[in-house]
Amino acid sequence: MPENIFLTEFGIVCLGGFGNVRDEYLAPEVFTGGTYDAKSDIWSMGCILYELCTSKLAFSAETSIKLIPKIIKGPCPSLPEDFSPELRELLNDIFNKDPQSRPTATEILQHPIMINCLTEKV
């Protein structure tokens, strides 16, 4: 959840307090008896990325009963066209319903848009 992302006075981003993650950020496999692992966290990070870009939840509904089927079976949101194709492609990869097909953290860091962001001079 975005409220669990902290920026230190030195410009370092820290993550914390994910013990109480709301349903909106959980991966489909969490609801279908699959394994919760690093790929599930990648999905959650995708939800946060989508929310940071659009100021909207990636998945929302009035109740958990209505939300869970959206996460499991519904279409995944895409970023609007005004975002770069590279960022939109990365988010689409992150929102793959098959956890084994989602990128790893290393693969995300090697994605061209991430390399550009990480090497861009301030």
Pseudo-torsion of CA 103, 106, 108, 114, nearest 10°? Answer: -170
**pLDDT reading at 2 higher than 90:** no
Higher pLDDT, 13 or 83: 83
| Residue ranges with strand state E in 2-103 | 5-7, 13-15
Q: Using CB atoms within 10 A of its CB, is residue 20 exposed (0-12), middle (13-18) or buried (19+)?
A: exposed
Domain ranges of the chain: 21-119
pLDDT in tens, 43-71: 999 999 999 999 999 999 999 999 999 99
DSSP 8-state code for residue 36: -
pLDDT in tens, 20-45: 567 899 999 999 999 999 999 999 99
Q: Is the pTM of this model over 0.95?
A: no
Residue 106's SS3 state is helix
CATH fold label, 21-119: Transferase(Phosphotransferase); domain 1 (1.10.510)
